[in-house]
Structure 1
Amino acid sequence: MKRYCLSVDLKNDEQLIAEYEQYHVKIWPEIEQSIRDAGITSMEIYRIENRLFMIMETSDDFSFERKAAMDAGNARVQEWEELMWQYQQSLPSAKKGEKWVLMKKIFDLNS
């Protein structure tokens, strides 16, 4: 198993944040299936103010490149991503076109 932590910001608007959270009460079934098909075994998203923090646990063979290729060929995932981008905004340090940014682990109590 591998674990990844990522972050993205939401647009700082209470109504948009509420709508975004509502979409995540029960995500579209095709989105859940695409997540699982990519080898993601667990995913949680947390929010403080307008910053989101995602924890993903994956199978050992998971790769972001493979997930991106799968998503590119899935019209429903593309529709979801376009919809979510109406609520999200890149972190100030994100590269052009980058949404969720991989975070660097700096501490592990069990290491």
Structure 2
Amino acid sequence: MPKREIYKKELEKLTKIFQEVEESKKKLVEGLIEDAAFLKAENYVLKQSLAETGMVKIHPSNPEMQKPIETARQYLKNINSYAVVIKALNGVLSKGIIEEDDDLDEFE
């Protein structure tokens, strides 16, 4: 699947998740949603490359000599950034949810 298609699919998914959020919060997280979609698409491409090369280059005659591949480093950075962005987006969603009354409310 092309990177552009991955971006579009993730953007649509996140936009749909946030469609019920109040308009001001939607505007606030618009950039984060785009960043999350971008990181998802970038990691898709990096992951395909890593499937072919692996994350570490091992010297053919001396297996103890190893060198991390730059693609792997970038992939891990992107994963961490993606996780932070998703966590921030989830925080906005969580604050928008009105907790339903439970049985413990009777004891107040």
TM more than 0.5: no
* Greater share of helix: 2
TM-score by length of 1: 0.32
Question: Which of the pair has more CA radius of gyration?
Answer: 2
TM-score by length of 2: 0.32
* Greater share of strand: 1
| Greater relative contact order structure (CA < 8 Å, 6+ sep) | 1
